[in-house]
Amino acid sequence: MTLIHLKDLAKHFKILNRHEGLKGAVRDLFSGDYRTVKAVDGISFDIEPGEIVGYIGPNGAGKSTTIKMMTGILKPSGGVIQVNGLSPYDNRIHQAMIMGVVFGQRTQLWWDLPVIESFKILKEIYKVDQRMFDDHLGMFNELVGLKALFTQQVRTLSLGQRMLCDITASFLHNPQVVFLDEPTIGLDISIKAKIRSLILELNRTRNTTIILTTHDLGDVEALCRRIIIIDKGKILYDGDIKKVNALFGAYRTLKLQIKDYSDATLAALQERLTGRFGAAHGITVAQTEEYWTDVTIDQARTPLADVLGFIMSNFPVADVRIVEISMENVVRKVYDGALQ
Amino acid sequence: MLSIGEYIRLYFLIETQYIKAQMQYRADFLISSIGMFFSSLATLSIFVVLFQSIPNLAGWSLMEMVFIYAFYMIAISPMQILFDNIWWIRYKVQSGDFLRYYFRPLNMMFYFMSERFDIKGLTQLAAGIILLAYSSVKLGLEWSPWKLAALVIAVFSASLVLISIAVMAGSSAFWLVNSYPVLALAWKIREFAPYPMSIFDGIFRFAFTFILPIGFIAFYPAQFFLRPEEITPVIYLTPVIGVALFALTYRVWTLGVNSYTGTGS
Amino acid sequence: MRGYIAFIRGAMLVGVVYRLGFLFTILGNIVYIIIAYFLWRSIYSGSDSINGLTFDQALLYVALGSTMFILLKTYTDWGMAGEIRDGTISIYLTKPIDYQLYNFFTTIGFASTSLVTVTLPTVLMLLFVFRIHIAFGVGYLFFPVSLLIAFIIGFNFDYAVGLMAFYTESIWGISITKEIFISVLSGALLPLQFFPAAIQQILMWLPFQAIYYTPLMMVTKPDQEVGVFLQMLAVQIAWAVVTYFLSRMLYNQAIKVLRVAGG
């Protein structure tokens, strides 16, 4: 049976149009002047047990809103959402038994208590029998050496250690689905690798469905077989990661600080690049941050070094940073039809 | 999903661990308990001094006042000890941290309140019990098993009144940006509680009996034990009022929880 | 000096933002005054004067006392504890400013705002809504100065409590104990005339009465000889100086224990 089923799911928020000043604040109290924000505007997809799905999109796209509806926090405005056959919002406590949730930024463990005590409390809450409990902890200890942390208070752990404990906790009761939100944020490469392999192993041995929301495309590449891209409340893409992989891997974004930047600079840049590299250069130029111009390059078509060299010889560049493609740029490319 | 028994066991498990962790900070625990001790007795000491200059207050003797105040201290303790986390609700709601309470198969009020256990409140509870025993001896009160049972029910109901008022006030955090003053004000209003209702004018007496039932936190229940011949039938409503008020508060809390959306998108 | 003035301004601006908070503070104080009104009315039923005070005088004393309590409430101890705990105190210690003065001027800034937004409306309410009777007299001229000195003494106590944060993680217990001691022993909650004679003698020799009893008596019994008031003022100033020096000494000790959050 399909584990997660969404059909034409929508969530609208009524936001009060606020007015300024003290008079305005008083007016607002009696005002009926709302505007409707469609955070989620009719999305549909099905997720089967055992899938690892990356649910990505820019900030404000509607990701968290969807997750909140899946976990029973928000009531949908329209459409259908079912997890394991039941409406999450109407069955919050019941559904919580089959779910695990990990927030990268906030721990779900008890701050002042030793790690093992948090686990023991969870064992009581989720009614995990002793055998399963010991097996789980044994497995985690084997995979990531967790035992050493057991007696430490959660508050004394480093970010990486805390994440490992949070992930352990989320799988403790053998849930059917685990929601991971930014699980590797702020962590160094070696811990990231550990966490990624941990998640893969858990999915492999227990067939746990995993929904991953993250801005870290490295996570997405390493873990997901399927990607759902959402933007402005609508699904942009839902399919195999291989197609999108091509999108990520080859792309690099050059962030340039161009002296005396003006609106004309952007146009000039595009013109000159087309002139130098031809019309199908696969380079996009945009101003996303103050002072920084983003030049996104498809390395399959145009070598980065050539582009950088060209720009630097023709424009006064004060500073350069090279980054992997950002989520925003991925979405922009998808809009531009990169996946057609 | 847990049964009542399992909830109790879980609560016990969580709090023993919590207390163990807090006990590490021995100095803080000791100093806080001492502070709490002084705080409990401040108003009482003022009364003792005051009664040097007056024979009685609206017909109530010093020992009777002590009894009422002791009952008050016991009745406010459950709120102080068990529901302490309500003071942090505004912070958690506004930072989005409140979302974490939705993810466990637990009743949210239980989960939220179980996060804190105010150990120093036990000092106030102990002081209250000692004072209650002391004043009953001095007043020559007799405690039959029935009376003791009634006392337990009275304390339970009285504590529900304050818990309800405070938690309802705290729940305003779901709708108001600056909800702290509401909670602070509700908390301040409890200071009306340890006084005989007869010193207040009719309007206040009415308000404290039927609108914001402060009278049921200490005075009316205490009156039942001190001067049973003076009580009006309304006193027997104490348990009903306590439970009904809490049911209302729980409704408000649930409304707040259902309407919460967290921060960001 | 100009630097310190800037701190006052800064604190005043922050204070203005908390409009709703001020309203509720006023309401909270009104709650207290209502309780006090009924309580003291009951105390005075059947007597015109107790311990040398009439009902009007006692009520004015207690109502003004609690209003003063709000005005004099500094959050210095908590602010300092926070700064010591998270290490931001090192910012102030490495600058050419005096930490105690910095705290003082900041708190005076808040108090100035509080004076206008809370104290003033409350006093007006006391006069016109509660119709508390006041008698005028010379004492009123001395009151503002007395109030300021009382503020200074109170501040020195708060500052000393804040310094305790160098020694212990949490100062809640110490802060509450200080508050209780001051409220009870200063005559803030109960005019000292009501205390047994022997205890009154002792209390008059302690610094606490200089914070509440002295200024409140200037307003409660304003019709006394100028000499009496000058003497009261002199005692107050003496305590202000003593508490100042004691707090400085405490600071010099405490600073040696400086352990700032690292890692």
Percent of chain C clearing pLDDT 90 (strictly above): 37
User: CA-to-CA distance for C221 and C147, rounded, in angstroms?
Assistant: 15
| Nearest CB neighbour to C196, from listed B36, B52, B200 | B52
- Angle, in degrees to the nearest 10, between helices B238-259 and B145-171: 30
What is the DSSP track for A275-327?
HHH-TT--EEEEEEETTEEEEEEETTTS-HHHHHHHHHHHS-EEEEEEEEPPH
Name the stretches of chain A with pLDDT < 50: none
Flag whether pLDDT at C263 surpasses 50: no
- Report the DSSP beta bridge partners of residue A177: A99, A209
Rounded to an integer, the average pLDDT of B88-96 is 92
d(CA B175, CA A250): 48
Q: Are B265 and A181 in contact (CB under 8 A)?
A: no
> Residues 6 or more apart from C225 whose CB is under 8 A from it?
none
* Structural domain count, chain C: 1
Domain residue limits, chain B: 4-259
Among the partner-chain residues B17, B21, B102, the one whose CB lies closest to the CB of A92 is B102
Q: How far is B68 from chain C (nearest CA, A)?
A: 15
Quote the radius of gyration of chain B (alpha carbons, Å): 20
Residue C156's domain comprises 2-257
**Amino acid occupying residue B256:** G
Quick one: what percent of chain B has pLDDT higher than 90?
63
Cα–Cα distance for residue pair C24/C18, rounded to 1 Å:
10
Q: How far apart, in whole angstroms, are the C-alpha atoms of residue B254 and residue A185?
A: 33
CA dihedral B38, B41, B42, B45 (to 10 degrees): -130
pLDDT at B265 over 50: no
CB contact at 8 A, A251 and A297: yes
For the stretch C81-111, pLDDT in tens is 888 878 788 888 888 888 899 899 999 998 9
Asked if B102 reaches chain A (Cβ–Cβ under 8 Å), the answer is: yes
C42 and B199: CB-CB below 8 Å? yes
pLDDT of residue C242: 94
Q: How many beta carbons lie within 10 A of that of residue A94, not counting itself? A: 14
**List of domains in chain A:** 4-8+45-246 (3.40.50.300), 250-335 (3.30.70.980)
Nearest to A287 by CA among A324, A332, A245, A242: A332
What local confidence, expressed as pLDDT, does residue C12 receive? 59
Residues of C in contact with B58 (CB under 8 A): 42, 45
Structure tokens at A129: 């029998």
Considering only A122-136, B224-238, C9-23, which range has the smallest mean pLDDT? Answer: C9-23
Q: B interface mutation test: which of A77, A119, A125 has the most B CBs within 10 A?
A: A125
Residue type at A66 in one-letter notation: T
Pick the residue of B24, B28, B180 with the most C CBs within 10 A to test the interface with C by mutation. Answer: B28
Compute CA distances A101 → A143, A176, A184, A271, C184, whole Å.
20, 11, 14, 48, 52
- Is B10 in contact with A62 (Cβ distance < 8 A)? no
Pairing of strands A234-240, C53-54: unpaired
Please indicate, yes or no, if residue C263 is contained in any of the structural domains. no
Residue A283 pLDDT: 80
- What is the dihedral sign for C-alpha C44, C47, C52, C56? positive
At A27 the pLDDT is: 67
